[in-house]
Amino acid sequence: MDLGLSDKRVLVTGGSRGIGRAIVASFLDEGSRVAMCARSVSGLESTANDFARRGELHHRAADLGDVDSVNAYVEWAGETLGGIDIVISNVSAMSSDDLDIGYAVDVRGSQTLIHGALELMGDHVGANVVCIGSRAGSIGIRWMPAYAAYKAATVSLVKSTALQVARRGIRVNCVSPGDILFEGGTWADARDNNEKLYNSTLRQNPFRRLGTPEEIADVVTFVASERASFMTGSNVLVDGGATPSLQL
């Protein structure tokens, strides 16, 4: 299926590792032109080197918890790419119990990114935003209440922003991963250092496995494409069926 993403100008935050890195790779494979950011300069450079032959990829260090840093990244990306078509807000403070940190990065950071990019977006069917949420926003997490709260706030932000920009023809959606395994990530650490938690999480998933970053990236790329042109204000759970309750 041709997703029609060739030459689309795409911003990806948190693009140096895990889900963000897989999203960058997926858009490059579709022929998109990508500007990514992350806090780690070395991580950005490593990813850029790995993907050097994959397509047009630019990178800049940015901290989504710093409003000035976010605005500078959006301005730079718009100038570098000659405009913006698609924004992937992939960011998380992963704070277990600090609402201030979670708000600054996941909520305020995403809102600053999105609003800045919307000013540079044209009013056309290909223009859209995808936020990366979490299944934690749909369920209770005993050991990460703040994380669950601001991921729920991300979904609310998406739904409200989608209503604000629908008349411009711009779509805004959320893709919420379940438990995703990649080296250097939370679940790789649990696999190596907290066998009880890791095995318990495996048992809770109907597939008896965790997801991969590529499985999330494939859904994100589709949602951002014109093949999903009638989808906006949606929250798509990609969790292997691990969320048992009815999503409202």
Of 73, 103, 147, 198, the active-site residue reads: 147
Q: Is 147 a catalytic residue?
A: yes
Q: Tell me phi and psi for residue 9, to 5 degrees.
A: -95, 110
Check residue 58 and report its DSSP letter: E
C-beta neighbour count of 237 within 10 angstroms? 20
What is the Cα Rg of the chain in Å? 17
Report the first-to-last Cα separation within the chain, whole angstroms.
30
Alpha-carbon dihedral 116, 122, 127, 128, rounded to 10 degrees? 30
DSSP string computed for 149-195 = HHHHHHHHHHHHHHHHHGGGT-EEEEEEE-SB--TTSHHHHHHHH-H
Catalytic residues: 147
